[in-house]
């Protein structure tokens, strides 16, 4: 056992000597420096460039938020992080060079910030008493321009403090786009001064469906309400900009409109009063295609575009049921006047009017891939969620696309098959599948592939009632996606990523981020024999140990030690409980297999 423990210490020593490559996402290029700098020797930070003052101050804010001592802002000959603006650097590109006892970070403004985020990780990934030495020079830059994460605040509302923390999480992983889903059937969350009922009525839901009790419907009798004032939004947009995160707001149309129509039913087809929807799924309520509705939405977008400086405005466009349009005289008249063959073309006509208006304001629309149906608006970009086909079609038509296929990028799906996982919407998207994703479909040629801006992870909040649940579902899958989008083909592989992630958890812990520990889970091969089930357990990492019981007690380090590749015979009516340990600490959930008498 002593020899085994010594091996672990040796492994850690070697690993931390290469600490500059523990970042997530993985740095593209590194070369060994002649200089070696102990990370705990860095005491000062300085720049003589006014444009980098915000980056410096924001970097120190990250330390304060992590309950760590920030660096002293002072010009010093040694032990200093020096920030240098390179106006010839590409956007988001940076260099880190070790010179004497100093660390120089050079790049564009955003590049210097990302270099600082690498440094922040190095300075917070170490456990107590570990001596970390920087030894590599770094040259780093992203593969994709759109590196995003989405959050639905309609099904459940999250306070401004958490929205800022969410932006911090994006920024420390070099993600640059926050897609803020602000309106839906279940709630309207943005103040629009011209239409105050949108928040006075549309932001309040009397209850939500209880778990998955759709038929018969059972409600939880718990009201949900909340919205963001325009002053709060301005503050959050400024906060995000300091972290080089662009916020893309989403205002859903023509479907997912029931909360808006609860406030202003005159913009529906039947004009009948309704309430903010309490169920999940797709409501039949939809904006009418008449001119008055289009003007209402233009008015809304005027205020939205004033608040958000982003180039793109997300207009939804997904899951728009057409039954109301089929019965609506105004919609049918629109189809006849404009020579539209069907309701899909009517939706395209609807979106085209919004596209023209947003374009006239110097911005562009992006919508879910259903906006392709009936014809794609002239300047629209597509967010492909129903697989990759929508993104492929957009790229072939020379329209920009962002990939967000459910099978790889929906982080409200289960990340573990264990029955102990919290209730989720459905699906199964494990972290290794996220890490394996390539946003560029093989069917695209190089000229078409350039229209793929990148990808993003999506978090729909039907079953995410509090912020800790959002964090748990997002991380560490977002860490994997960040490496896909930043490092691209240069990423070193899942096993390498998984090892780095163990040390990255120290940073997340210091930032009080609640994450899934799914990478520590035990896996197993099993087959049935005459003696019972034959089980072979697979440890997630070589340096740990598995202990197990067959008497229904929880495993401890005093339980039976599992020898790698050995077979455990599980007789009938027996339960195997196993757990993975490192340094005498339980890391995994308890893994359970039962051999019940049939």
Q: Is the pLDDT of residue 6 over 50?
A: no
pLDDT of residue 597: 62
Residues 6+ apart with CB under 8 A from 201: 262, 263, 276
pLDDT digits 0-9 by tens, 285-308: 999 999 999 999 999 999 999 999
Average pLDDT score, the chain:
94
At residue 217, φ and ψ (nearest 5 deg) are -70, 135
Q: Is the pLDDT of residue 10 over 70?
A: no
| Average pLDDT value for residue range 436-442 | 98
- 223 by Cβ neighbours in 10 Å (0-12 / 13-18 / 19+) ranks as exposed
| Average pLDDT value for residue range 200-213 | 97
Q: Is the pLDDT of residue 321 over 70?
A: yes
Per the residue annotation, which of 54, 319, 416, 543 is the catalytic one? 319
pLDDT digits 0-9 by tens, 77-111: 999 999 999 999 999 999 999 999 999 999 999 99
pLDDT digits 0-9 by tens, 390-400: 999 999 999 99
Per the residue annotation, which of 256, 314, 400, 503 is the catalytic one? 256
pLDDT of residue 559: 97
Q: Which two tokens stand for residue 102?
A: 């100093």
At residue 176, φ and ψ (nearest 5 deg) are -120, 5
pLDDT of residue 15: 39
Active site residue 54: no
Q: Is the pLDDT of residue 412 over 60?
A: yes
pLDDT of residue 530: 82
Per the residue annotation, which of 109, 136, 168, 184 is the catalytic one? 184
In this prediction, residue 245 has a pLDDT band, given cuts at 50, 70 and 90, of very high
In this prediction, residue 551 has a pLDDT band, given cuts at 50, 70 and 90, of very high
Judged by DSSP in three states, 377 sits in coil
Q: Is the pLDDT of residue 572 over 90?
A: no
Q: Is the pLDDT of residue 2 over 80?
A: no
At residue 161, φ and ψ (nearest 5 deg) are -60, -40
- Please say whether the beta carbons of 95 and 105 come within 8 A: yes
pLDDT of residue 14: 37
Cis peptide preceding 295, ω within 30 of 0:
no
What structural domains does the chain harbor?
15-140 (3.30.379.10), 146-486 (3.20.20.80), 521-595 (2.60.40)
At residue 96, φ and ψ (nearest 5 deg) are -120, 125
| Average pLDDT value for residue range 211-239 | 97
Q: Is the pLDDT of residue 7 over 50?
A: no
Active site residue 109: no
pLDDT digits 0-9 by tens, 129-152: 567 889 999 999 999 999 999 999
Active site residue 173: no
Cross-strand pairs, 146:
454
């Amino acid at each position: 056992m002593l020899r085994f423990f010594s091996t672990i210490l040796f492994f850690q020593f070697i690993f931390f000597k290469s600490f500059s490559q523990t970042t997530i996402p993985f740095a593209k290029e590194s070369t060994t420096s002649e200089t070696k700098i102990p990370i705990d020797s860095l005491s000062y930070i300085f720049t003589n460039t006014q444009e980098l003052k915000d980056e410096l101050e924001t970097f120190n804010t990250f330390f304060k938020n992590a309950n760590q001592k920030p660096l002293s802002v002072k010009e010093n000959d040694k032990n200093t992080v020096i920030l240098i603006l390179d106006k010839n650097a590409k956007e988001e590109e940076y260099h880190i060079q070790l010179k004497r006892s100093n660390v120089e970070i050079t790049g564009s403004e955003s590049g210097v910030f990302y270099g600082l985020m690498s440094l922040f990780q190095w300075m917070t990934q170490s456990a107590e008493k570990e001596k970390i030495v920087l030894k590599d020079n770094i040259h780093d830059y992203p593969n994709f321009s759109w590196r995003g994460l989405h959050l639905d605040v309609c099904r459940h509302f999250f306070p401004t403090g958490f929205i800022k923390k969410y932006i911090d999480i994006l920024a420390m992983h070099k993600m640059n786009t926050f897609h803020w889903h602000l309106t839906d059937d279940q709630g309207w969350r943005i103040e629009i001064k011209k239409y105050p009922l949108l928040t006075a009525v549309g932001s309040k839901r009397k209850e939500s469906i209880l778990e998955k009790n759709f038929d018969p419907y059972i409600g939880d009798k718990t009201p949900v309400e909340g919205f963001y004032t325009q002053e709060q939004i301005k503050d959050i947009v400024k906060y995000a900009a300091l972290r080089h995160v662009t916020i893309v707001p989403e205002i859903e149309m023509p479907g997912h409109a029931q909360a808006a129509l609860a406030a202003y039913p005159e913009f529906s087809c039947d004009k009948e009063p309704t309430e903010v929807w309490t169920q999940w799924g797709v409501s039949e309520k939809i904006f009418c295609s008449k001119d008055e509705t289009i003007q209402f939405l233009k008015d809304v977008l005027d205020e939205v575009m004033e608040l958000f400086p982003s180039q793109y405005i997300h207009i939804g466009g997904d899951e728009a049921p057409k039954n109301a349009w089929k019965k609506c005289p105004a919609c049918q008249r629109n189809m006849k006047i404009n020579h539209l063959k069907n309701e899909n073309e009517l939706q395209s006509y609807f979106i085209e009017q919004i596209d023209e208006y947003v374009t006239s304001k110097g911005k562009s629309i992006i919508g879910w891939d259903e906006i392709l149906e009936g014809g794609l608006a002239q300047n629209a970009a597509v967010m492909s969620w129903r697989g990759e086909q929508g993104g492929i079609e957009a790229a072939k038509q020379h329209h920009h696309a962002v990939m967000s296929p459910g099978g790889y990028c929906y982080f409200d799906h289960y990340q573990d098959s264990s029955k102990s996982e919290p209730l989720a919407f459905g699906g199964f998207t494990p972290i290794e599948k996220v890490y394996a994703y390539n946003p560029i479909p093989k069917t695209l040629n190089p000229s078409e592939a350039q229209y793929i801006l990148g990808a993003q992870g999506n978090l729909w909040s039907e079953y995410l009632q509090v912020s800790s649940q959002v964090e748990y579902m997002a991380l560490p899958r977002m860490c994997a996606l960040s490496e896909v989008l930043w490092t691209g083909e240069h990423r070193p592989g899942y096993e390498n990523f998984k090892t780095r992630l163990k040390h990255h958890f120290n940073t997340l812990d210091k930032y009080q981020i609640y994450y899934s520990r799914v990478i520590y889970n035990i896996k197993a091969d099993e087959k049935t024999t005459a003696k019972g089930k034959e089980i072979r357990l697979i440890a997630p990492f070589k340096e740990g140990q598995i202990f197990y019981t067959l008497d229904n007690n929880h495993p401890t380090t005093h339980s039976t030690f599992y020898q790698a590749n050995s077979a455990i015979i599980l007789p009938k009516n027996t339960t195997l409980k196993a757990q993975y340990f490192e340094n005498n600490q339980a890391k995994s959930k308890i893994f359970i297999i039962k051999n019940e008498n049939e």
